[in-house]
A and B are shown apart, each in its own frame.
Chain A
Amino acid sequence: MAFSTIDRTAKQIVLTVQDYSLFSLRAFKNLYQPPIYWSEFLVQSDIIGVGSLAIVMLSGLSTGGVLALQSAATLSAFGATAITGQFVSLTMIRELGPVLTGVMVSGRNASSMASELGSMVVTEQIDAMRALGVDPVRKLVTPRIFASIAMLFFLTIVADASGIAGGAAVTVFMNHQNGTQYFSMAYEHLRYPDILQGLIKPLFFGYILSSIGCFYGLRTTGGTQGVGRSTIQAVVVSSVLIIFVDFLLTQLLLSFFPLT
């Protein structure tokens, strides 16, 4: 009995991974074959990019502030509070900026994609679209994936900048240190590979959150309860996958750009 349950679950997982791979491959291929729905891409870019701006800025500011607070306490023991700027900027740009943006946008947009597409499935709007001769993957999924990739890139830059600004505010107004020193340390120790590393990651995270959100949305079954289930699955799977892929990417990128 227990073995058959494990067997069934394992098969389901393998099937889900297979379905997801085929689905995301199809969505990706659509970008190179007309028709391409550019207007839909712009609408989604507005929803994902402009819509997420406030939460990304606020979470960036707070995270940068917290980093400055925590690091100052530790660094002061070694008389090294001067390098707070370097610590905050490197942490934000290399790691926290992309991951934080990915997780925040995933919570906001993977959920909205899953619930929106899931509602369309249960009200037969997706079937209606297919019956009208329009490919829902091309029309709904491909623009969302590419808008997410493009917007996450820019949102990560915003999160990095906000984090550094938040760190500066804490350093100057709460830790009563020199602002110029903070910014010069933040800037001087930054290398191009750090920036490159921080800007490659959001491309993967944007792809993960949108493809997972759309995938679970389009697999919705079981009415409105099913929409809720898909939304939860989309947020959980995309957030976990972002953190896991971040680990793999960090290892890979460190082999290309080792720390000096």
Chain B
Amino acid sequence: MTDTPLVPLPDPPAIEPVVDFRNVGIAFDGPPVLEDISFAVEPGETRILLGPAGVGKSVLLKLALGLLRPDEGSIHLLGEEISIMPEEELFAVRARTGMVFQEGALFDSLTVRDNVAYQLIQSGVPDEEIDARVHESLRFVGLDETFSLFPASLSGGMRRRVAIARALIRQPEFILYDSPTGGLDPVTSTNIIELIVKQRDVRHTPSILVTHRLQDAFTLSTHRYDQEQERMVPLPKGEIDQNTTYLMLEEGRLIFNGSLHGLLHSDNAFVREFLR
């Protein structure tokens, strides 16, 4: 037996955050909307962004996808610095992500099928494959019967669910939900939160969810998706989902970044007021 020289093993590749905000700020013809925002979303993590209306939550989501460009700081998305990337190059990065807009933002001149399949149609996927994948995606959100309808004939809750189906059809590496339950009744809101929990627990897709409804936020921490029962079930008492963490904005600044436990025990006056 001969001695073989020991070759040092290469360092394991560092796991990069899916999204990384570093000292980001933005203003629109006036005082800054967001100032000195720094946080990251790790693989498999769901970050819930809380804050009152008009505090810059939707702006932050648009920055995360390069739909807006920051005035200062840098943003990395899926390993690319999107804050300096030209618009033409950003399309390829965005195609790897999914976003659910506040009001759904469905294309009103297209059917549900064409809305959900929008990316597939643009990529030249054959019609048979498109139909199969749209049916699968619509079944995921429980709306297979809307296949041929136009968005105008859907209720607000149905539109959000179609928007979720559209965002998920290509199995994105990262998802952004902009107030997906805003303005909806409690039953529909719970259905949508169940879909988000399902996506989190079944496909483990990292995400940022914007909401000002604490009930929805806490449901995400205290529930999991049971694939056998095909529904969302509560976690055992005292347990919370460790991959679901919280961010809170106040007047354009990030005032909280941490776990549910940290949020509930924060000594920040605004956080305590918001939770009350």
Q: A131, B94: Cβ atoms under 8 Å? A: yes
Chain B window 78-103, contacts with chain A (Cβ cutoff 8 Å), 1 for yes, 0 for no: 00000000011011101111110111
Chain B residue at smallest Cβ distance from A35:
B122
Q: A134, B118: Cβ atoms under 8 Å? A: yes
Q: B103, A124: Cβ atoms under 8 Å? A: yes
Alpha-carbon gap, A31 to B88, bound state (A): 14
Q: A127, B119: Cβ atoms under 8 Å? A: no
Taking a contact as CB atoms closer than 8 A, the residue among B94, B102, B106, B166 that contacts A130 in the complex is B94
B105 at the interface (CB under 8 A from A): yes
Q: B105, A128: Cβ atoms under 8 Å? A: yes
A residues less than 8 Å from B92 (CB atoms) = 133
B92 to chain A, nearest CB (A): 7
A residues less than 8 Å from B95 (CB atoms) = 132-133
Q: Which of A125, A130, A133, A134 has the most CB of B within 10 A?
A: A133
A residues less than 8 Å from B99 (CB atoms) = 128, 131
Given A133-B91, A133-B94, A133-B95, A127-B67 contact (CB < 8 Å): yes
Could you count the A-B residue pairs with CB atoms below 8 Å apart for me: how many are there?
Answer: 54
Interface residues of B in 58-84 (CB under 8 A from A): 62, 65, 67
Interface residues of A in 107-140 (CB under 8 A from B): 123-125, 127-135
Dominant secondary structure at the B interface:
mixed
Alpha-carbon gap, A124 to B176, bound state (A): 15
B107 at the interface (CB under 8 A from A): yes
Alpha-carbon gap, A107 to B101, bound state (A): 33
Chain B window 113-133, contacts with chain A (Cβ cutoff 8 Å), 1 for yes, 0 for no: 000001100100000000000
Taking a contact as CB atoms closer than 8 A, the residue among A125, A130, A135 that contacts B107 in the complex is A125
A187 to chain B, nearest CB (A): 46
Chain A residue at smallest Cβ distance from B102:
A124
Query: How many interface residues does B have (CB within 8 Å)?
Result: 25
Alpha-carbon gap, A128 to B159, bound state (A): 14
Alpha-carbon gap, A132 to B92, bound state (A): 9
A residues less than 8 Å from B101 (CB atoms) = 124, 127-128, 131
B107 to chain A, nearest CB (A): 6
B residues less than 8 Å from A131 (CB atoms) = 65, 67, 94, 97-99, 101
B residues less than 8 Å from A132 (CB atoms) = 94-95, 118-119, 122, 166
Q: Which of B87, B102, B105 has the most CB of A within 10 A?
A: B105
Q: Which of A127, A132, A134 has the most CB of B within 10 A?
A: A132
Alpha-carbon gap, A133 to B118, bound state (A): 10
A residues less than 8 Å from B62 (CB atoms) = 127
Given A135-B88, A135-B91, A130-B103 contact (CB < 8 Å): no
Taking a contact as CB atoms closer than 8 A, the residue among A123, A127, A130, A134 that contacts B122 in the complex is A134
Chain B residue at smallest Cβ distance from A116:
B109
B160 to chain A, nearest CB (A): 13
Q: A127, B105: Cβ atoms under 8 Å? A: yes
Q: B94, A125: Cβ atoms under 8 Å? A: no
B130 to chain A, nearest CB (A): 14
Taking a contact as CB atoms closer than 8 A, the residue among B96, B97, B107 that contacts A128 in the complex is B107
B residues less than 8 Å from A133 (CB atoms) = 91-92, 94-96, 119, 122
Q: A123, B103: Cβ atoms under 8 Å? A: yes
Alpha-carbon gap, A128 to B122, bound state (A): 14
Alpha-carbon gap, A122 to B71, bound state (A): 23
Chain A residue at smallest Cβ distance from B62:
A127
A33 to chain B, nearest CB (A): 9
B78 to chain A, nearest CB (A): 12
Interface residues of B (CB under 8 A from A): 62, 65, 67, 87-88, 90-92, 94-99, 101-103, 105-108, 118-119, 122, 166
23 contacts across the A-B interface (CB closer than 8 A) = A35-B122, A123-B103, A124-B102, A124-B103, A124-B105, A125-B106, A125-B107, A125-B108, A127-B101, A127-B105, A128-B101, A128-B106, A131-B67, A131-B94, A131-B97, A131-B99, A131-B101, A132-B94, A132-B95, A132-B118, A132-B122, A133-B122, A135-B88
Closest 10 CB pairs of A and B: A133-B95, A128-B105, A124-B105, A131-B99, A133-B91, A133-B94, A124-B101, A132-B119, A127-B67, A125-B105
10 further A-B pairs in the complex, CB-CB below 8 A; given A123-B105, A128-B106: A124-B105, A125-B107, A125-B108, A127-B101, A128-B105, A130-B91, A131-B101, A132-B118, A132-B119, A134-B122
